[in-house]
Structure 1
Amino acid sequence: MSNSTLTPGEQLANMILDIVHSECPEAGFLKNMDKLLLADGDFLEFQKRSILYYTLRRLIHGASYALEKALVQYADSAHAIPIIKDYINNNFSFSLPLEQMNRLHALVYSCVDASHKNLTKAARAYTLESFKKSGITTCYMCGVEIDFNSVEASNSASVEHLFPKEYGGDSRQENLALSCKDCNKHKDDHMHPSDFHFEKISTKHDKTHKKFAKQLFVSRHVVAMWLKENCECTICGKHASSAGRLEVFQKEPQDSWHFLNIGVQCSDHNEG
Structure 2
Amino acid sequence: MRLSEYCRFKPVTNGERLFQFLILNVIGKERASSLDNVSLIQIGGRTDDFADYYAGIFASNLMMRCIKKAKWIDRTDPLHADNNALERHKRELVNYFLTSLEIPKNSLGGNLEQLANYVIDAYRSSKKDITHTVRKQFKRRPDNCYICGVSIDDSSQADQNYELEHIWPQSYGGDSIEGNLLPSCSHCNKEKSHMLLWQNSDVSSFVMMPQAEPHELRSIHKSVRIARHRRLIFEYACSNKLTLKEAAVAIGSVELASPKYIDKYDSIDFYNIKFF
Q: For 1:200-254, what per-residue CA distance to the aligned partner results, in whole angstroms no more than 9, with x for missing partners?
A: 243348643976644x2x221221122223399xxxx98344x765621111001
> In the alignment, residue 162 of structure 1 is paired with which amino acid?
I
The aligned residue for residue 72 of structure 1 is: 78
Partner of 1:48: 55
Does residue 35 of the first structure (1) align with residue 42 of the second (2)? Answer: yes
Q: Deviations 1:182-213 (Å, cap 9, x if unpaired)?
A: 11111101111111121224334864397664
Is the Cα contact below 8 Å between 1:119 and 1:171 reproduced in 2?
Answer: yes
* Match in the other structure for 1:190: 195
Q: Could you tell me which of 159, 162, 178 is aligned with 1:157?
A: 162
RMSD: 3.4
How many positions carry a matched residue from both structures? Answer: 252
SS in 1 for 2:42: helix
Q: Which runs of 5+ in 2 are unaligned?
A: 1-6, 236-247
Residue 269 of structure 1 corresponds to which residue in structure 2?
Answer: none
Q: Which residue of 2 aligns with 1:85?
A: 94
SS of match in other structure, 1:146: strand
Indicate the percent of aligned positions where both proteins have the same amino acid: 20
Aligned to 2:175: 170
Q: Structure 1 residues 157, 260: CA separation in 2 closer, same or farther (over 3 Å shift)?
A: same
Letter paired with 2:273: I
1:226 equivalenced with 2:229 (yes/no): yes
Using CA pairs under 8 Å that are at least 6 residues apart, name the structure with larger relative contact order, 1 or 2. 2
Matched, 1:102 2:113: yes
CA distances 1:52-97 after superposition (whole Å, capped 9, x unpaired): 11111111112212332x2424786354333333333331222244
Q: Secondary structure at the match of 1:128?
A: coil
Measure the CA separation in 2 of the matches of 1:227 and 1:28.
22
In structure 2, relative to structure 1, the CA distance for the partners of 1:229 and 1:56 (3 Å cut) is same
> Does 2:16 correspond to 1:10?
yes
Q: Distance in 2 between matches of 1:25 and 1:253?
A: 32
1:127 matched to 2:137: yes
Under a length normalisation based on structure 2, what TM-score does the superposition of the two structures give? 0.77
The structure 1 residue matched to 2:153, chosen from 147, 151, 156, is 147
Query: Residue 59 of structure 2: SS of its match in structure 1?
Result: helix
2-structure distance, mates of 1:32, 1:153: 53
C-alpha distance in 1 between matches for 2:33 and 2:89: 36
- Asked if 1:62 corresponds to 2:73, the answer is no
CA contact (8 A) 1:74 1:113 kept: no
Q: Give the Cα separation in 2 of the matches to 1:166 and 1:103.
A: 21
